Amino acid sequence: MEIDLSQFHSVFFEESFEGLDVMEQELLNLEEDTDLENVNTIFRAAHSIKGGSATFGFTHVAEFTHVMETLLDEMRDGKRAIIREIIDLLLKSVDCLRGMLNKLQDGEEVSNDYVELVNYFNQLLNNNSASSKQVDSGDSTAGNNDMSSQDESQPVFSILFAPENYILQTGNEPIRMFKELRGLGNLSVEADLSKVPSFKDLDPELCFISWELKLESEMEALAVREVFEWVEDDCKLEINSSGGKSVDSEQTNTDDKVNDEQTLKAENNEEVEEFAEPAVSAEPEETPEPVKKLVPIKKEANKAPPKKAATTASIRVGIDKVDTLIDLVGELVITQSMLGELGDNFEMSKVEQLINGLRELEANTRELQESVMRIRMLPIGFVFNRLPRMVRDLSAQLGKKIELDIIGEDTELDKTVMEQIGDPLTHLVRNALDHGVESIEKRLAAGKSETGNVTLNAYHQGGNIIIEIKDDGAGIDPQIIYRKAVEKGLIEDGVDIPKEQIISMIMEPGFSTAEVVSDVSGRGVGMDVVKRNINNLGGSVDISSELGAGTTFTIRLPLTLAILDGQLVRSANEIYVIPLASIVESIPLTSIQVTRIAGNMPVYKNDNEYIPIVDLCDEFEIKHDRQTTNEGLVAIVEGENRKIAIKIDELLGQQQVVIKSLESHYKSLQGVSGATILGDGRVSLILDIVGLSKRSTERMSTRKDRVA
């Protein structure tokens, strides 16, 4: 049978990467707690990768994992102490394997970097068996070829087979073994019934028969013996070849199987393939791809993934989520058939029924949409999991003692958001390690414990996920930032700015140049990039810092990038979507006091704050025939701690809108985060509050300049 093994490659890669993650995590746990179960888990992961890679023809990976596994086995058996050096080596190996698998996944050749590690393992194991095995695998194919040219005459094997009476209970059935022998040549069987007890004493589950068999076969003596391989320990077996010379006539002992075969080799004076290793012989060393390019069998041909199938991303979904979906689809089908029937015999009296049906349809659709979105929701642990390793390595590198606490790793978030939050998050944690937590001496001098702490915390709040990165380090000194900002010309000296705003300036572009970095203890490296990335995801970052006590970065992200709870508003004849989460309140224009400040900028005075009013008609230059200015209302919206009042003509309904990127269809616009298609087919722009408020402040300042 020919089966294309490449169809299983993507699953293999996926589970191998998962296995590597598990190994990494457990190795880190091992440093704190040398629990045997941890070692077992690591062993299993390595073992699975080894089994899979050997089966699917990735010999280099198999070879590498083999030595790893040997070491792990020793650790598991308590023969090898679990020390930091070993854990380091294993972690390095995890990295190396990940690299190898990545290359294989991309269809590239694996470089030979791993050999160094393998050698190191072998050295450590002080055991040449692993390397000699490699040699075996290289030679074995040659051995195979030799085999065919061996036999001159057709030997007759006479076999005496006397199984122990419990043989059937091992699942081994003599008849099946004879059938197999018959496949090797001409077979005659004679049963010896002398030991069978009388019928009333007979236990039907036991076997009392022994057999004498004669087999005419050109096969190797070993091939004949192999038929009995599984029962060697459970029988008396004598195999004699043609001339009556005993090939093998002792009650065999499996422990010495290989030795056994070597004796056999000597006796027969011929080269015999080592059957103990039949598997390795399947693939010669050099080729990372399977040797035989197997042709996929026809009916499955369409299922076989293309060469680079591994690049198609897939996610694992809990069965409960799928079940919910199936239920919902079921309900949808019921509603649909109900509506269908209604449509077939419709009369005006059924309007009520129609409305109910449509309402149900709406509910079904919404639920279905929510459930589908939930499929893409994954626990943030996927991102958090790679951080402990980084903390371990980096803190060792920095000579600091840092402990990482992770809270809320089960908090779910959309896969697309997750993919993009990884780098900013890593950056922030690295920053906390590097510049947040002080050196051991400084900590002790400040009366803190020598081990610093970084805590990651994730939780849901409304339609957002909040991720906090908190360190108990030195904190950020606002004075230094202030001074630097003045130097950089970002602010005027002497201007009174709240502490939070000063600190958040480290995330402004232009603040993060190398020289500033060294002065403000490095904070600011790439911070603007972090901020921009998070903003691009529709999120925000806040910093709070207490000098001497530590710093907390708070990232706020939407749970998903695909759907938004929106408030539809009308301005002139255009309909816009305002993110519902950003709306603070809506007030009729008639009941507010509009004042104008410098530059003729209309503002709305609310308690002690002045909120700039943005008229969408002006902002987007919509033609309108509005006569008076105090008709309509303002929607007070907030983004990144800035409020603006958006002047609109009418509040329409609230609904979930599917966000379409404007950038990919038109171009990126400040103040607009995307577009959506409304129920009636019209395109409506989704307002980006932060962008809008920036636009308005910029305008305000230019006007101010003009006035000045």
Catalytic residues, by residue number, are: 47, 69, 431
Please identify which residue in 297, 329, 351, 355 interacts with other proteins, judged by CB under 8 A: 297
Rounded CA-CA distance 648/606 in Å is: 18
- What kind and span of H or E run contains 228? none
Site string for other proteins, 1-40 (x = CB under 8 A): xxx-x-xxx-xx-xx-------------------------
N- to C-terminal Cα separation, the chain: 87
Please identify which residue in 35, 229, 327, 631 interacts with other proteins, judged by CB under 8 A: 229
Under rule CB under 8 A, residue 309 binds other proteins: no
290 vs 388, beta carbon nearer other proteins: 290
Under rule CB under 8 A, residue 548 binds other proteins: no
Contacts with other proteins by CB under 8 A: the residue count is 53
Q: How far is the CB of 8 from other proteins (least distance, A)?
A: 5
Q: How far is the CB of 502 from other proteins (least distance, A)?
A: 52
Closest alpha carbon to 276 in 297, 249, 255: 255
Residue 601 burial class via C-beta count within 10 angstroms: exposed 0-12, middle 13-18, buried 19 and up: buried
Rounded CA-CA distance 615/621 in Å is: 10
Contact region with other proteins (CB under 8 A), list: 167-175, 358-366, 512-520, 661-669:
167-175
314 vs 518, beta carbon nearer other proteins: 314
99 vs 296, beta carbon nearer other proteins: 296
Cα torsion 555, 561, 565, 569 to 10°: value is 100
Cβ–Cβ < 8 Å for 56, 290: yes
Rounded CA-CA distance 595/603 in Å is: 5
Rounded CA-CA distance 51/62 in Å is: 7
Contact region with other proteins (CB under 8 A), list: 251-259, 467-475, 580-588, 674-682:
251-259
Site string for other proteins, 35-64 (x = CB under 8 A): ------x-xx--xx-xxx-xxx-----x--
Q: How far is the CB of 172 from other proteins (least distance, A)?
A: 5
Under rule CB under 8 A, residue 254 binds other proteins: yes
47 vs 430, beta carbon nearer other proteins: 47
Under rule CB under 8 A, residue 164 binds other proteins: no
Q: Is 213 helix (H, G, I), strand (E, B) or coil?
A: strand
Under rule CB under 8 A, residue 315 binds other proteins: no
Site string for other proteins, 383-422 (x = CB under 8 A): ----------------------------------------
Residues in the chain, overall count: 708
Contact region with other proteins (CB under 8 A), list: 175-183, 355-363, 399-407, 681-689:
175-183
| 596, 638, 698 from 701: Cα distances, Å | 14, 20, 5
Under rule CB under 8 A, residue 278 binds other proteins: yes
88 vs 180, beta carbon nearer other proteins: 180
Cβ–Cβ < 8 Å for 596, 653: no
Contact region with other proteins (CB under 8 A), list: 86-94, 176-184, 322-330, 500-508:
176-184
Rounded CA-CA distance 247/228 in Å is: 14
Rounded CA-CA distance 611/332 in Å is: 46
Q: How far is the CB of 273 from other proteins (least distance, A)?
A: 13
181 vs 659, beta carbon nearer other proteins: 181
One-letter amino acid identity for 559?
L
Cβ–Cβ < 8 Å for 519, 480: yes
Under rule CB under 8 A, residue 168 binds other proteins: yes
Q: What are the beta bridge partners of residue 372?
A: none
45 vs 645, beta carbon nearer other proteins: 45
Strands 412-414 and 401-407: unpaired
Rounded CA-CA distance 274/257 in Å is: 10
Under rule CB under 8 A, residue 300 binds other proteins: yes
Closest alpha carbon to 10 in 44, 41, 56: 56
**Residues contacting residue 430 through CB under 8 Å, at least 6 positions apart:** 390, 394
Under rule CB under 8 A, residue 282 binds other proteins: yes
How is residue 645 written in tokens?
């009042």
Q: How far is the CB of 164 from other proteins (least distance, A)?
A: 12
Residue 340 burial class via C-beta count within 10 angstroms: exposed 0-12, middle 13-18, buried 19 and up: exposed
Q: How far is the CB of 391 from other proteins (least distance, A)?
A: 27
Q: What is the 3-state secondary structure (H, E, C) of 143-182?
A: HHHHHCCCCCCCCEEEEEEEECCCHHHHCCCHHHHHHHHH
| Contacts to other proteins by CB under 8 A | 1-3, 5, 7-9, 11-12, 14-15, 41, 43-44, 47-48, 50-52, 54-56, 62, 66, 69-70, 73, 133, 168-173, 176-177, 179-180, 205, 229-230, 233, 254-255, 257, 276-280, 282, 297, 300
